[in-house]
Amino acid sequence: MLPHSIQTPYLLYIGNAYPHKNLKGLLNAYAIFSKKYPDIALVLSGPNDLFYARIQEEQKKMGLTSKQVIFIPSPDDQLVASLFTHALMYIQPSFAEGFGLPPLEAMSYGIPVAASNKTSLPEVLADAALYFDPDDPRAIADVLSSLITNTSLRDKLKEKGYNQIKKYSWDTMTKNILDLYETGGVK
């Protein structure tokens, strides 16, 4: 069940607000995007910590309202599932990522993903996401707009997302490890 503060449709980010996650850049992109799509909110959800407090201050400085940018602090697993289930799209704006589990989780819910073209994300998400330069808020806003207006692209990314997450299943991982042992790839 979604909190009453959230009115669909909305864009979603779930995770930490550390500087390398680029939420300030996402806010700048959303400020551009929201001029064209004022009825679509941005939901940011993660730990209730100093980093999110800083992002909330940035939101206020930019003049974005609490109806436009909605903060959901420290969500439990049930709320996370609900947030994914009802989102229009998931956004991963990071400058750097070690792997990128949240966008894969979004794909498992059938949500199209817009992601940074930096570090591990293109390798992990492959052709199942639409990419942008995280240093360019206008480029981020343009990608978000194209996902809003192009339903066939959204549908294509949903399908590709379902296929991409199969590569990261426990069954696939187990099979790959067994293959390594059987072929002598591990010593």
Domains of the chain with bracketed CATH: 10-182 (3.40.50.2000)
Q: Map residue 4 onto helix, strand or coil.
A: coil
Q: Are strands 129-132 and 41-46 parallel, antiparallel or unpaired?
A: unpaired
pLDDT of residue 89 exceeding 70, the answer is yes
| Mean residue pLDDT across the chain | 93
Cβ neighbours of residue 28 closer than 8 Å, sequence gap 6 or more = 62, 137, 140
pLDDT 10s digits, 149-179: 999 999 999 999 999 999 887 777 677 777 7
User: Which pLDDT does position 187 carry in this prediction?
Assistant: 52
pLDDT of residue 104 exceeding 90, the answer is yes
Neighbours of 145 (CB within 10 A): 14
Mean per-residue pLDDT, 128-142? 98
Total-model pTM: 0.91
The upper half-sphere exposure of residue 75, i.e. CA atoms within 13 Å in the direction of its Cβ, equals 22
